[in-house]
């Protein structure tokens, strides 16, 4: 799954960079490594990267600031690697644009599973997704990955877009938390409700009409979420009027 994938390691600890670079390269990945956020941003301007592994504790530009800067310009998955293990640290990283959060120390097998989850396609069939959606206040072109909300183009991260696509496939039906988590992140994420809350909040900020609360993404209490889309009204047969 990671063969020929380009992975960027951003960590100020030489030993971690060295171990990760050797281990990932042994799996066929192309590995780049830098020690600061500033160097990461400079490298990304010239290199195509599939996944970023980002430490939070770095000199100069910190991990959260680096994460925000990467997310503002690029769409590749970002996996934060950190010794911080509090819930608030995880939420801060996800809010900054990270797609996943791994606490140090971690096993290489765990990291590989997270990387595979980050680069894999979501678990639902592509032929079940409509090519386009156009309803008042929201337009989605799934082939070009273009989203227009309230007349303005909005930029979704890969995870946000996959979440929106899965909700569209299941439009107007309650989707349980566990089903969403397993579809977007994988089976091992079934209990990571905080992940889902953060990304649903981000998605709402981008697609909901200004000044209105949860027109499209509706909370189903104690169940999950539902994407509310208008149901097309069948045309009237003139012969029956």
Pairing of strands 152-154, 217-220: unpaired
The per-residue pLDDT for range 148-176, each reduced to its tens digit, is 999 999 988 888 998 999 999 899 999 99
Question: In percent, how much of the chain has pLDDT > 70?
Answer: 91
Measure the CA–CA gap between 216 and 212, rounded to whole angstroms. 10
Q: Give CA 162 to chain center in angstroms.
A: 7
Strands 138-141 and 132-135 turn out to be antiparallel
pLDDT over threshold 70, residue 231: no
Encoded tokens for 164: 């929106």
pLDDT, residue 239, reads 45
Bridge partners, residue 146, by sequence: 141
Residue 4 pLDDT? 86
Residue 240 predicted with pLDDT over 50 = no
> Of all helices (H) and strands (E), which one includes residue 25?
helix 14-25
pLDDT number for residue 128: 59
- Quote the pLDDT of residue 122: 40
Residue 36 neighbours by CB distance under 10 Å: 18
What is the C-alpha separation between 172 and 193, in angstroms, rounded? 21
pLDDT at 230: 78
How does pLDDT run across 181-216, given as a tens digit for each residue? 988 888 888 888 988 999 999 999 999 998 777 789
pLDDT attached to residue 238: 43
Domains, the chain, with CATH or none = 6-119 (3.40.50.2300), 126-227 (1.10.10.10)
Helix (H, G, I), strand (E, B) or coil at 15: helix
pLDDT of residue 224: 95
**The pTM is what?**
0.78
Q: What is the pLDDT of residues 76-121, one digit of tens each?
A: 899 999 998 888 888 999 999 999 999 988 899 999 988 988 887 5
Residue with tokens 């609360």: 213
| pLDDT confidence of residue 9 | 97
Q: Which two tokens stand for residue 182?
A: 């397993």
Question: Does a cis peptide bond (omega within 30 degrees of 0) precede residue 120?
Answer: no
Within a 10 A sphere around the Cβ of 141, how many other Cβ atoms?
13
97 sits in the region (left: phi over 0; alpha: psi -120 to 50; else beta) called: left
């Amino acid at each position: 799954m990671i063969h020929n994938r380009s992975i960027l390691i951003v960590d100020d600890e030489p030993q971690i960079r060295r171990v990760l670079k050797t281990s990932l390269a042994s799996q066929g990945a192309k590995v780049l490594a830098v020690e600061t956020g500033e160097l990461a941003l400079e490298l990304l301007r010239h290199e195509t990267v599939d996944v970023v592994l980002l430490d939070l504790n770095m000199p100069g530009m910190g991990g959260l600031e680096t994460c925000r800067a990467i997310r503002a310009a690029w769409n590749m998955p970002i996996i934060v690697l950190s010794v911080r293990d509090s819930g608030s640290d995880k939420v801060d990283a996800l809010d900054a644009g990270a797609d996943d959060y791994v606490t140090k120390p971690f096993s290489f097998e765990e990291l590989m599973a997270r990387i595979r989850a980050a680069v894999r396609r979501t678990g639902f069939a592509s032929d079940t997704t409509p090519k386009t959606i156009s309803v008042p206040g929201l337009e989605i072109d799934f082939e070009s990955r273009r989203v227009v909300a309230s007349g303005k183009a909005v930029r979704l991260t890969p995870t946000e877009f996959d979440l929106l696509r899965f909700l569209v496939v299941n439009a107007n039906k309650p989707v349980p938390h566990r089903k969403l988590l397993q579809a977007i992140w994988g089976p091992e994420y079934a209990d990571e409700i905080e992940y889902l809350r953060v990304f649903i909040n981000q998605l709402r900020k981008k697609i909901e009409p200004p000044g209105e609360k949860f027109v499209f993404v509706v909370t189903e209490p104690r169940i999950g979420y539902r994407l509310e889309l208008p149901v097309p009204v069948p045309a009237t047969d003139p012969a029956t009027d």
